[in-house]
Amino acid sequence: MSKLIIDGGVPLLGEIRVQGAKNSVLPILAATVIAGDKCVLHNCPRLRDVDKTDLVLERLGCTVERHGNTVIVDPDGFCSCEICDDLMRAMRSSIIFLGAIITRCGEARVSMPGGCPIGLRPIDLHLKALKELGVSIHEEHGYIICRAKKLKGTDIHLDFPSVGATENIMLASVCAEGTTTILNAAREPEIADLAAFLNAMGARITGAGSSFVTIRGVKKLSGAEYTIMPDRIVAATYLAAAAATDGEIFLTGADPSSMGAMLHVLREMGARINVSSGTIHLKSRGRLKNIHILRTMPYPGFPTDIQSPFMAMSATAEGTVVYVENIFENRFRHVDELVRMGADIKVEGRSAVVSGVKTLYGTRLVARELRGGAALVVAALGAEGTSEISGVEYIDRGYEEIEKSLADCNACIRRVQ
Ligand code: EPZ
């Protein structure tokens, strides 16, 4: 297991090229099983979660080749409709293969995805929608068995704008008979990226990225070449790190149009931000000021995935802010670690009251999940003294070579085995 050693207190200063979006490339890789031919995906980040998804594709019989940040998937050898327990436990977001496998072969057998450190992660909305599309589903010995003689388009209303459920509905209806509409669809930009990829394969999807999506079933899909959108959460994490260290950073290959809520918070807290197509420039203007309250919401609201990295930034900003986590029930696991560094944070149910302190102090820290781990990196960069962060495998799930990107911006950070 590797660790990150960070000598804090050094202002970030430099440029980072933003990686491709993890939460876009995962459903897009799942969608390649429906392709009638090879798919070539550019700007694919090198992440543990992408490696695991590649493994699922190979277990399903597809071939996967990686050349730098380009991944080529050939689904021709597709021969299995099962995702077994070890893979599902390794990455619960493999549930996104469900709709694609059913479209490809009319059945699917996947192990029940368990919860994860941030919450129970139920899939009731996924299964309810698939049943409305004509899928028969039963659970047996911890597996979900799905069968669909024919997928028939229908009107689906989501009780909650679930990202994964929206994606599974799109993947299950793209070749269904007739038209499917999704009311109260998730509006995250990654949904629009998946739809753009499917349309490049010959699908007929309109409205993706809005709360009303229409999918007109087509007979079959071809292969496609596609470039994955930039990762808005990784981009905002690096902006938070620059702001928390009183630094200055240029992000290239970014998509500021998908980051409105996060850029707004950074500006309100006192950072100076200029954007142009593809680049974001942040310059800190001294100690940040906390804003009164931050509520995580479905897109275009303040994203739950940036809650912990931004809380790390708030820990040393002036004043008090209340973070309200409305999306997941257990997403404050980073708080104990920040308190060990000297942060003043009190958790009450879904709220965390952060009172900014002047300085955090480096110490031994443990990452327990992806974004909470990134939050510890942000805190350690701004802290006085040295921090040693274990559990880096969690951070590697979503951040490509985090220590290299930060070291390129003056940070004193290194990975040790
Ligand atoms: C996606 O997870 C992302 N993961 C998450 O990013 C992100 O936090 C989340 O969307 C919200 O934006 C990927 O895209 C791989 P949801 P997903 O379904 O699809 C409840 C990261 O750090 N719900 O929108 O699982 C659920 O419990 C990860 O990159 C049901 O109740 O999110 C949660 O409270 C973490 N029933 C809420 O909806 C369901 O059937 C949001 O879940 C499905 C979801």
Output the pLDDT for position 367: 98
- 77 burial via Cβ count (<10 Å: 0-12, 13-18, 19+): exposed
Q: Which of 44, 84, 105, 116 is catalytic?
A: 116
Alpha carbon nearest to ligand 1 atom 42, residue = 162
Average pLDDT, the chain: 97
- 299 CA to middle of ligand 1, Å? 12
Ligand 1, atom nearest to 161 Cα = 24
pLDDT tens for the chain, residues 1 to 417 = 899 999 999 999 999 999 999 999 999 999 999 999 999 999 999 999 999 999 999 999 999 999 999 999 999 999 999 998 999 988 889 999 999 999 999 999 999 997 788 998 899 999 999 999 999 999 999 999 999 999 999 999 999 999 999 999 999 999 999 999 999 999 999 999 999 999 999 999 999 999 999 999 999 999 999 999 999 999 999 999 999 999 999 999 999 999 999 999 999 999 999 999 899 999 999 999 999 999 999 999 999 999 999 999 999 999 999 999 999 999 999 999 999 999 999 999 999 999 999 999 999 999 999 999 999 999 999 999 999 999 999 999 999 999 999 999 999 999 998
Q: Does 300 sit behind a cis peptide bond, omega within 30 degrees of 0 on the bond before it?
A: yes
Output the pLDDT for position 168: 98
pTM of the model: 0.98
H helices within 138-188, ranges in order?
163-173
| Tokens 């039963």, located at residue | 138
Q: Is the CB of 49 under 6 A from ligand 1?
A: no
Sheet holding 412-416, edge to edge: 364-366, 386-390, 3-7, 412-416
Given a contact cutoff of 8 angstroms between Cβ atoms, the answer to whether 24 and 53 are in contact is no
| Annotation says 146 is catalytic | no
CA–CA distance from 273 to each of 257, 262, 288 (Å)?
13, 11, 13
Output the pLDDT for position 116: 86
